[in-house]
Amino acid sequence: MTEQSGQSPALDNLSTESRVFPPDPAFTGAANVREGAYAEAEADREAFWAEQARRLTWDAEWSQVLDWSGAPFAKWFVGGKLNVAVNCVDRHVEAGNGDRVAIHWVGEPGDTRDITYAQLKVEVSKTANALASLGLVAGDRVAIQMPMVPEAIFSMLACARLGLVHSVVFGGFSAAALRSRIDDAEARVLITTDGQYRRGAPAPMKDGTDEATAHTPSIEKVVVVRRTGSDVQWTEGRDVWWHDLVDGQPEEHTPESFDAEHPLFILYTSGTTGKPKGIQHTSGGYLTQAAYTHHAVFDLKPETDVYWCTADIGWITGHTYIVYGPLANGATQVVYEGTPNTPHEGRHWEIIQQHRVSIYYTAPTLIRTFMKWGADIPEKYDLSSLRVLGSVGEPINPEAWVWYREHIGRGTAPIVDTWWQTETGAIMISPLPGVTKTKPGSAQRALPGISAKVVDDNGVEVAHGGGGYLVLDKPWPSMLRGIWGDPERFRDTYWSRYAEQGFYFAGDGAKYDADGDIWLLGRVDDVMNVSGHRISTTEVESALVSHPTVAEAAVVGAADETTGQGIVAFVILRGTAKADDSTVKVLRDHVAAEIGPIAKPRQVLVVNELPKTRSGKIMRRLLRDVAENREVGDTTTLADSTVMDLISSGLKDSA
């Protein structure tokens, strides 16, 4: 176990926060879920999840709800068969809802596409036929690196339809990051675009994927969607335009049924070592929990609501709450391609006004950005359609929560602060709108059918008012089924810390308040959370030391007002390298090129020494004190206790 990561500054006032917002009785009367659901699920967890699984259309009934005999490798709905894409698309058309809009797509430059469920069925079927024509068969891996264009969603659903395992790689990740993910999963096909719109201008996309695929032996074909019309390099025989491949395909595709445990996707996420983990999710359990939580937590009424989740499909939030959950529930949703301030800072509110969005799900970092831009901006728009607001990705500080409720939710819309992870697949801890008395800054309570506890080092549950580590003590349907190609790492990372008790260790600090509600306190391992994105300190350190001027590097996540944490790097340069601004810029750019712009350090500080314990472990806690301008803490375990004085005085001199 490593030392406690710094908490978000915003969390400092958590201990004093005591405001409570009871639900509006009118909302409660019509809410999808009642208070009784908790007790009902508690009485028979498996029966509860079996009931939720019936939200889906199965081709064969399961014989067993949960097989936990191979723990920690779970099997849910054993023997059940279904097709995930049929559940997300075809069945809504068959139920007579083909004319309902599935996706109001809004492009950054202002172009739009409204796609009904009937049209989505055609698009997904054509894409499935196209992928099958490339010789892909169930179980093969397909990498997807795309901006938020409809074809990205068609591609994911076409994979699901064929039993192909997609691995979506966030569009902002570098060529090197894409390459390592393609290699790890041995993907046969990559789907991408020529370019992407970013802050009002076309930016390249295929240049990066070309760089990645120059070295990936497993890639046979690269399918390219034309989005920006920019010039691209072309590799004959390997590259194929989407419109050449897909447009002429038949509009019908006969789906096959797959086992409930058939792999649906791999999604890479940062762990405590440099190598990202390929988190594996399967079909039946994942879709069950995605659909149930989307219905329960957002109080979705598919006939009348317009839902909008602002995540990118490159993250788990985009997978579960743009693609699988909402579409399984037959929702109408907005999908927006661009940045929130293009062409102006009111873009989100303009979209909400135009589409009468009623459920809006975003991240605290963006809410804090909106606060900075000013409340006068949302005030110019009609946001009266909004009735549920969601937050995800990091702890939300009470100020941001209250601002969100006041300025976006007109002081009435319930806020659901949803805690979950790439690994959990779907929401685990959250208030329920209309049911829970909400508290700014607290995710509060495990959902019906889910069990979470705050425990101490020995795995003993702490008392109300106490703090410790968050664990999940009962298996859940959408739980990860492993790390791609690395079962040992799966056991080590999540199950070894509380092996005796059989708890899943989430890696988050948490506490109970006096009522027993859960407050999340940030990561306790070497994973940083920057704007809701997980980045490991080791990943950034290894990017830094891969640069010829760097001898050693230590990276910490320091509290940051807007992004939650900011990346601060301490580097020791080699021999003759100069500690000047240009070196710092080169190193920041180098990290962006190695991992992606989201990993670019906020600060690079050149030092002569790093604080290490006698066993050679870098004491990040002390560096964090420096990065956050605090008095440096206890240095007694340092091998050389004068190091911190040297670092602090060196930094003062150069400031």
The token duo for 387 is 């009735």
Residues 263-282 that bind ligand WTA (CB under 6 A): 269
* 387 appears as a binding residue in the annotation: no
The candidate with the shortest Cα–Cα distance to 186, out of 319, 313, 278, 318, is 278
Give the residue, chosen from 534, 590, 620, 624, that forms a contact with ligand WTA under the rule CB under 6 A: 534
C-alpha 56: how far from its chain's center? Answer: 24
Give CB contacts under 8 A, 24+ apart, made by 117-122.
117/89, 117/92, 117/93, 117/330, 118/93, 120/89, 120/154, 120/157, 120/327, 121/89, 121/90, 121/93, 122/251
Q: Is the Cβ–Cβ distance between 608 and 646 less than 8 Å? A: yes
* 508 appears as a binding residue in the annotation: yes
Q: Assess 317 for contact with ligand WTA (CB under 6 A).
A: yes
The candidate with the shortest Cα–Cα distance to 512, out of 422, 571, 445, is 445
* 199 appears as a binding residue in the annotation: yes
**Which residues are registered as beta bridge partners of 21?**
438
Q: Assess 419 for contact with ligand WTA (CB under 6 A).
A: yes
Minimum CB separation of residue 389 from ligand WTA in Å reads 13
Give the residue, chosen from 529, 531, 536, 563, that forms a contact with ligand WTA under the rule CB under 6 A: 529
Judged by CB under 6 A, the stretch of 73-81, 309-317, 497-505, 616-624 that binds ligand WTA is: 309-317
Q: Assess 417 for contact with ligand WTA (CB under 6 A).
A: yes
Distance, in Å, from the CA atom of 28 to the CA atom of 260, rounded to the nearest integer, reads 34
| Cis peptide bond upstream of 343, omega within 30 | yes
Would strands 141-144 and 165-168 be described as parallel, antiparallel, or unpaired? parallel
Q: Which is nearer to ligand WTA, 53 or 506 (CB)?
A: 506
Residues 441-480 that bind ligand WTA (CB under 6 A): 443
Q: Assess 208 for contact with ligand WTA (CB under 6 A).
A: no
The candidate with the shortest Cα–Cα distance to 455, out of 503, 522, 495, 513, is 503
Q: What is the size of the binding site for ligand WTA (CB under 6 A)?
A: 22
Q: Assess 420 for contact with ligand WTA (CB under 6 A).
A: yes
Distance, in Å, from the CA atom of 521 to the CA atom of 115, rounded to the nearest integer, reads 40
The candidate with the shortest Cα–Cα distance to 304, out of 353, 361, 357, 383, is 357
* Phi, psi for 67 (deg, rounded to 5): -115, 105
* 550 appears as a binding residue in the annotation: yes
Q: Which is nearer to ligand WTA, 522 or 611 (CB)?
A: 522
Minimum CB separation of residue 422 from ligand WTA in Å reads 3
Q: Which is nearer to ligand WTA, 116 or 317 (CB)?
A: 317
Q: Which is nearer to ligand WTA, 368 or 534 (CB)?
A: 534
Q: Which is nearer to ligand WTA, 421 or 436 (CB)?
A: 421
The token duo for 419 is 């805690």
The C-alpha angle with vertex 541 and arms to 537 and 547, in degrees rounded to 5, equals: 155
Distance, in Å, from the CA atom of 108 to the CA atom of 106, rounded to the nearest integer, reads 7
Site string for ligand WTA, 375-414 (x = CB under 6 A): -----------------xxxx-------------------
Q: Assess 316 for contact with ligand WTA (CB under 6 A).
A: yes
Residues 12-41 that bind ligand WTA (CB under 6 A): none
Distance, in Å, from the CA atom of 607 to the CA atom of 619, rounded to the nearest integer, reads 15
- Please, which residues have CB within 8 angstroms of residue 586's CB and are 6 or more apart in sequence? 547, 549
Q: Which is nearer to ligand WTA, 422 or 493 (CB)?
A: 422
Judged by CB under 6 A, the stretch of 1-9, 68-76, 173-181, 503-511 that binds ligand WTA is: 503-511
Q: Which is nearer to ligand WTA, 318 or 601 (CB)?
A: 318
Q: Which is nearer to ligand WTA, 221 or 445 (CB)?
A: 445
Q: Assess 421 for contact with ligand WTA (CB under 6 A).
A: yes
Q: Which amino acid is at 179?
A: R
> Which residues make up each annotated binding site for Mg(2+)?
545, 547, 550
> Which residues make up each annotated binding site?
198-201, 317, 341, 393-395, 417-422, 508, 523, 531, 534, 545, 547, 550
> Which residues make up each annotated binding site for CoA?
198-201, 317, 341, 531
What residues line the site for ligand WTA (CB under 6 A)?
269, 315-317, 392-395, 417-422, 443, 506-508, 520, 523, 529, 534
